[in-house]
Structure 1
Amino acid sequence: MFVRDDGRPTLGNMISQGTGASASHSDIVADTNDICDLSPVPTLVISPTYRIQRASKGVLDAWDRRPEDFLGKDLFAALYGGSPLERFDRIPLARAIEVAVAARNFRLCHAAYTAHGVAWSARIIPIFRKDEMLSLVLEWDQVESKTGEARGEVIQNALSVDEVYRLLIQSVKDYAIFLLDTRGYVATWNAGAELVKGFKKEDIVGKHFSTFYGEDDLRAGKPENELVTCLREGRVQDEGWRYRKDGSRFWASVTITAIYRNGVHVGFGKVTRDLTERREAELRLIAAYEESAKLKNDFLANMSHEIRTPMHGMLSACSLLLETKLSEDQRDTANIISESGQVLLQVINGILDYSKLASGNFSVNTDLVGVASIISSVVRNVQMTLLPGVYIKLVLAPDLPKSAQGDPLRFRQIFQNIIDNAVKFTEKGSVLVETSVSAEDETSYTILTQVTDSGIGVAEDAVQNLFKPFTQLEKQKPTKKRFQGTGLGLSIAKSLAELLDGQMGYRPNLERHGSVFWFTVKLKKIANVDQLGSPDIQHHQETERAQQESEKERMLKRVREMAPRKRILAAEDNLVNQKVLVRILNSLGFQNFTIVSNGAEAVSILSASPNAYDLVLMDISMPVMDGFEATRKIRTYGIPVPIIAMTAYALRGDSETCLEKGMDDYISKPVNINKLLQKLLTWLDSTEWSNVDSNGPS
């Protein structure tokens, strides 16, 4: 009872409102302490740090406790310490105190504590002086004299449920519907709960609901967290594995709702549905999707190989042809073949890039990025594709960093795509390229590049689909198209910009008919690197071109110097590619090399003469024995010869895979002569092999 039978105020009322009598402060304090100690009303006075300051005679007698059991002790430890479910027992009272303090008003907590089988409710009274909380007064009232055979009777007595509704709940068999008391003990049990969870009513009522959770959830504190969240937010919904009486598990959809009677929290309602069949169907769909994605990726990888293999032969042969003496007509024809092959290669690369981005297998690298160098190089290259009367202007901000860290290949790819579109769709007027630093912090630059053209523009109804895959920018008749693309370029470019912590967007060119495409990327700063300043762009371009040409000549000279004394073993199954490789090696000055058609032949030669070769060029996909297995056997024999993979696969992190398989380096097909020169220099110029077999290669 919170009001005495004779109508006098309880202890909490006396402390918070006073009695109206006049007395000195010390007398009031002394009298109040005596009242707290001697009061027959079960009362605890708590400090702001939840230490028990006073315990009335009433609470000591009712609970058969001693003063030392309470005084100076933590409230929750004193009440619930030693209980196997202490973390659940404290939840209702802790939440009620939290609400009472926040509201600065009293709060009732139903069945907050059980002593000797009797449930007690608490009236929580926070005592404030202005904004300072002085103490909490907890007055306890017995819920009922006996608990009964099951804990469930407490909540059932507190909740008067209509008999018809009770029958309805009991008869539902598809859902487990039951009640928990304020601490999570099962209070009621319906037929659906018996079917879903396997427990009879007499087996589970009075047991704690954490019984239904697995070990991982129990260790993570999931049951108590759900009750705490439910008290804070009113309800909790969850899906996860739950366990039946026989130990089997099922996928459950669970809803827990906090139940209040006249504003007092009296328990929880819990509804559980067995969704195992749905979950298994979802898992089957996920497995089917993953298998489909794997098959698609494998198909694309194989198609890449099948297309790139003849492309390698065609482009390499064309490159060799262009280095010979040709008539003007012959050279034009060879250039057409080469340029068409490069366009086809770009289409293949676009499809593969899109597939990798869509499957989440695309990765970016970290290297030095020369922003001005990349932008200038791309602009210089596209100048040759401008229509007559169209000019291009480049504006580089003076504060661009000379160097930064990022992915130079992907930065170039994004810009290349945007400027290619601008040049493609601009038949008169100009293309303006502007690159600047749009933001900067202590660790990074945000680089903004925008391309403004005076081309055909983008129709209003097409803007929303600009960055969707397989969408064509050009809406003219096919006979008037200068190029036919895949519709993947902008979609890939936008995804790449986002991978580089940037964005991409479009707006119409308001000054002239046309478009403005822009993108940002974030590049990391490099310590102690000077800014670019204000360079002479034309001089910068010419210097860079000269340096590139000089570097190529230097590499070619060095390779030709070492070629006569170096020996190469190449494994390549395609006859056309074998012929092209022979021509390439001959053009570089190599005389001692052997070409085999599969990995088994390469292993046989090296096992017989381990030191006969200075380098191995290894195709991956070959009959009899592929390049990976051949490399494994070569390494098993302890032969340390450098192995460079030459593969037309280009989908699934091939360079990393090749290195993991024991290869030393990787070059993709179609082989770029400059890249091949770099690889040859790397592995032939820095390594000299001792114990060379005197017989040499055949």
Structure 2
Amino acid sequence: MNPASAPGSADLSDTSRQLELLVNSVTDYAIYMLDPHGVIRTWNRGGERIKGYQASEVIGTHFSRFYTAEEIDAGLPALNLSIAAANGRYAGEGWRLRKDGTQLRASVVIDPIFDGDQLIGYAKVTRDITERYEAEQRLQAAQHALMQAQKMEAIGKLTLGLAHDFNNLLTIVMNSLDLISTRVPDPRVQQLTDTAMRAAERGTLLTRQLLTFGRGNALVSEQLDVNALLRDSRELLNRSVGDTVAVSFDLGDGLPIVELDKNQFEAAVLNLVCNSRDAMPNGGSITISTRLCRARKPSESESPEEDFLSVEVRDTGEGIPYENQSRVFEPFFTTKEVGRGSGLGLSQVFGFAMQSGGFALLESQPGQGTSVRMLLPVENRAGK
């Protein structure tokens, strides 16, 4: 007996029937035909699974229904068909819409179908590659974060060595100035040594900031109520920004006590506020906010999330060009005019956050302001 004619079996001697069974058995791909104008003429089970539509819902409608509104306005559906007709194939990928309005990342192939020289339609094959695409994006983000961390680590080691050497030289200079000041009573010499001492003290401050970035400055941690510390700093911060900038606070409730270096924390907040002030020469607003959040360190994308205390300084200033954002935490890198900053403010913030066991993040939209967040660990909170 011919297996094809056995009771209950499909007749596979018909080529068109074989093709219909083959196409409808494929569920990993949406395989369907379009007429020359892009109207859907067939639909398979893969299309139902991937895009959520039954055949009765899509047959007779234009395939542009799967594109986003922006792509439709740009004429992308018609362009893809014209490329397929002209070149013999169109292949690409992009975001498409499911029936429920969610998006999927789709790999698309469109082949023209000719009857002799006449174009009678298109064969369209779509595969859902959302999981693969998102995995690739996560991998790229992790690789970028690792490269950034390695770069900052290398810069930190170089900075640490230079800062120690520079600090030794400053110590000699300051000791010599002290000796001159005590042994030469001439008022003119005294004035010169005072000027030189102030410059040396400024150099000492810069060195301290470099040491913080390079994590060579020992932190003196103590249990702190960050919200209380910020409230106590309100007057100082208001004086630092002047009359044209308004400073407001949005402090979360019930935040844990954390172990931090008080002086370094206050310096970091002041650096952030002063940076925001400089980004708003015509005035604006600065918001300092705190909250408890869960996050993972950028260089450890596969590690579980941890509890962090987020301290954010957000401004309404000029923003930072995208091409500069990956470098803002580097020592001596600044987008300010010459003479308006040393480029060490954000590097001190970065170094303090890293040495405290956390990290710093920057978000900025040119023309719309900048946000810098210090995420500080709370694993040492009181009572734990």
Using structure 1 for the length normalisation, give the TM-score. 0.28
Instruction: State which structure, 1 or 2, has the greater radius of gyration over its C-alpha atoms.
Output: 1
Using structure 2 for the length normalisation, give the TM-score. 0.48
